[in-house]
Chains A and B, each alone.
Chain A
């Protein structure tokens, strides 16, 4: 068993629902106990969809377990077909139904429905949501496009003279982080390049569209977590190459354009020449200088984490001090990326471990998921969301892609927003104790919960830290904890004047300074940290 406070992904059948809800005339019959219909409100509330997801649940209860749950499933499947008249059906089990082993696929065969029925095998106790979405998409495409596959060894007919190149876009799904606007941004980009879009899937595709996937020349994979399995099957079956670059950030978008142009055999120079992104200039302009080497921790699904780290490092000039993902299936990609920044990748879906890592690294900015928001809030660190899982506020009404040139603009604004502005930073570093302009206040442009300066004696924090060995376990998290309340773990103790001097260091780097000084004291066998030690350490680490 795994103790779980927050889970980064839902169970695999939620991934299957994301595919079913994205598709148009497909229905999903899910063998599941009463209560599993909660998943509907992910779509109706968080994504605000104006329709019910196309999912029929058997919702069996305890009294049904003594009877014939298989019959219950058959009735639900038959009724769903009669009522909704889908062009294809998906059937499967949730975690509890997996235990009672009714074999939805076999039962549906017996029903002999006049449409393709795809049986999904989603092992709920080993796999998770993205895997479920990927597997479901793959099974659907195999079932519907498979019959149109050319004979093995057949050569692909070339493009007719004068015809425009055609591609599929794979990956956008329901409940995807910014999928709606990413799709629009990338579709526009491809159109500008002179490439036609054959099918977008799963988002908005019909069963008939899926059967036409083979008609394109190549595939654009936007979200490998959902579509890479399908794309590699299409490569094998239809000889369609697929894109590898994820167009997040201005640089990656340019690379993506070149890659697509090469696959389509066209000239991208015109589109590249009038590439219209403000973010590179914004990042070059002098007020962004203070962003240089700000220490950032990145966590999310593998695709967004790798892309965000690259943008943070190359386009904004941050220093990536940690990178991680909860997508075990894509651990290798994240480890490769981590090497670029000289850090160790954190491959983990245990919220408590990620929390410990952030507390240890003391970054100045966290780029993560909804869960990292909790962590950052508790530790009082600025944070921006770059990846699912997200909440309702990250399904915004306004146009806000992450991909393409407009996506790069959105990233710049979103990531810089939580940071304190440059001049404010300087002033707080120089003058302390201003009643309204002090370090415990939130960045003043964020308003809201800026508290009045605490006038408590300066020793309490240390006293607290000394008596509470694990001070980050508190029931009260309504206020972000002051950083100085972290436990003193090193063997060296702080002299009161050094403690006072430490407080003069701007708060957003103070945690780091404390750790560095303690590490220095440990290495140099300094029993008591004095003001001298503090500055010795500072000099030592600013090599």
Chain B
């Protein structure tokens, strides 16, 4: 084990113990059901059945937008007054709906019963329903349950809840199995493949230190986990999933998130260090990607340096992205809002943030809008409910959801991530000209 490039604890100069403005009030955010929109594309044989109201069905189809031209692998079992009045037994109804669904989509291998606000409030026990149905439709289909309700989850936390529900199904390895690496969090396929190539060039893979990704692309191909598993979080919003993996004995490798050159390098470094890969090899493997990304970022830096940016809370990606924009593109952070801050998982990120950054957790949207208007930032990162109204007020915005639906992780995407922020600014100049 030769330590290389020690990760600096910059609590003195970073935001490690910076005060955070905690707000309560109206929150302009998505609920966890929205996670279905990318998860159902990632796990290719999974189906997501929301048990909820017409509002839930309406949300998913509005958010899924144009994708509804495909035959999507999600649907809603809409609770009606008969279910509420106890005239119909909810469990019988659910069985009927699931039967009809599986007749229609026989290729499904994994069915998630997704809880919603209404189902949680009426205390419909979907976990029991899932185990009962699993018994009925086994071995062909596994039925699991998680909650994507707005009362419990915000936007990307839906992925966390989904993955955490999948952890108990993972095959468990014994204590004498070889050490393995697990990358946790849904990544774009192209990013996953890039990371795979980097890890095998570093000497991972095969029987010696196998690398697996979670979630897998197929429900039948679950990675094994055990006391010898070390895992890297690829996404900052996976608190419950990490806890579930740790309960199986796996250990989290502390690292910043693989956004930008610096984040990606330190993230890979954390794995290399844990598996004793020597500095020369590490440097040789990452150099091409790192140098390509550094060169590609230069072009965007000219457009972004010095620009003031304001983040409304959305996905928990705000802090890592703010770190990237501040350190690699010299942007100035006016306020970085996040719906939820997991201090332990974000420790390395917070240490890298410029000292004195205004951080906020939670939201009171009207107060936050007041702060944003008085600060007049050059660019505002916010949801689609706020973007056009702020543009109409003369601000430049970048809608946040795109950051979840676009490949942004790793070296090859660093410039794409920067370009997402440069584009609205360039557009504003073009249309004025």
Contact = CB atoms under 8 A, between A and B. Distances in A.
A178 to B, nearest CB: 19
Interface stretch (B144-152, B277-285, B291-299): B144-152
Contacts of B59: 35-36, 38
Contact of B28 (A5, A37, A96): A37
B163 interface: no
A305 interface: no
A465 interface: no
B78 A10 contact: no
Given A1-B90, A4-B77, A40-B385, A61 B58 contact: no
Given A11-B54, A38-B30, A96-B118, A126 B76 contact: no
21 contacts: A1-B51, A3-B76, A3-B97, A7-B57, A7-B58, A11-B53, A34-B151, A35-B33, A35-B59, A36-B31, A36-B55, A40-B28, A44-B385, A44-B386, A44-B387, A96-B55, A99-B122, A126-B80, A474-B71, A475-B107, A477-B71
Given A7-B58, A45-B384, 4 more contacts: A38-B62, A49-B388, A50-B392, A123-B81
A469 B151 CA distance: 43
A1 B58 contact: no
Contacts of A62: 120, 149, 151-152
Given A11-B58, A125-B84, A477-B70, A4 B154 contact: no
Contact of A58 (B26, B30, B383, B385): B26
A10 B58 contact: yes
Interface in A45-67: 45-46, 48-52, 56-62, 64-65
A291 interface: no
Interface in A3-24: 3-7, 9-11, 13-14
A34 B385 contact: no
Contact of B75 (A4, A39, A51): A4
Interface string A326-347: 0000000000000000000000
B67 to A, nearest CB: 11
Contacts of B97: 1-3
Contacts, number: 191
Given A34-B154, A35-B29, A50-B389, A41 B53 contact: no
B55 A475 contact: no
B29 A10 contact: no
B63 interface: yes
A41 B383 CA distance: 9
Contacts of A65: 121, 151
| Residue from the set A42, A64, A95 with the largest chain B CB neighbour count within 10 Å | A95
A373 B71 CA distance: 13
A3 B101 contact: yes
B189 interface: no
Q: How large is the interface on A (under 10, 10 to 19, 20 to 34, 35 or more residues)?
A: 35 or more
Contact of B366 (A35, A83, A478): A83
The 5 closest A-B pairs by CB, nearest first: A35-B31, A35-B150, A40-B385, A50-B392, A95-B53
B133 interface: no
Contacts of B31: 33-36, 38
Nearest to B56: A95
Contacts of B122: 99
A1 B151 contact: no
Contact of B80 (A2, A13, A46, A474): A2
B432 interface: no
Interface string A460-502: 0000000000000111111000000000000000000000000
B117 A96 contact: yes
Nearest to A14: B58
Nearest to B119: A96
A74 interface: no
B118 A59 contact: no
B68 interface: yes
Contacts of B154: 34-35
A377 B69 CA distance: 8
Contacts of B392: 50-51
B420 interface: no
Interface string A72-94: 00001001000100000000001
B234 to A, nearest CB: 24
B366 A79 contact: yes
Contacts of A40: 28, 384-386
A3 B384 contact: no
B17 interface: no
| Residue from the set A3, A44, A45 with the largest chain B CB neighbour count within 10 Å | A3
Interface residues of B, number: 69
A37 B29 contact: yes
Contact of B77 (A3, A7, A374): A3
Interface in B399-424: none
B61 interface: yes
A37 B63 CA distance: 12
Nearest to A393: B66
A409 interface: no
Given A4-B77, A100-B121, A94 B385 contact: no
B27 interface: yes
Nearest to A373: B69
A246 to B, nearest CB: 26
A33 B151 contact: yes
A512 interface: no
Contacts of B26: 37, 56-59, 76
B193 interface: no
Given A34-B150, A76-B26, A99-B122, A51 B389 contact: yes
B391 interface: yes
B64 to A, nearest CB: 10
B125 interface: no
B92 to A, nearest CB: 9
Contacts of A60: 151
A33 B107 CA distance: 35
A270 B388 CA distance: 45
A168 to B, nearest CB: 30
Contacts of A304: none
Contact of B389 (A1, A52, A478): A52
B105 interface: yes
A36 B388 contact: no
B8 interface: no
A99 B118 contact: yes
A3 B75 contact: yes
A289 B226 CA distance: 73
Nearest to B71: A477
A76 B365 CA distance: 12
Contact of B54 (A76, A95, A377, A477): A95
Nearest to A124: B53
A124 B63 contact: no
B104 interface: yes
Contacts of A99: 84, 118, 121-122
Contact of B388 (A37, A48, A61, A473): A48
A477 B73 CA distance: 12
B253 interface: no
B388 A94 contact: no
A27 B70 CA distance: 38
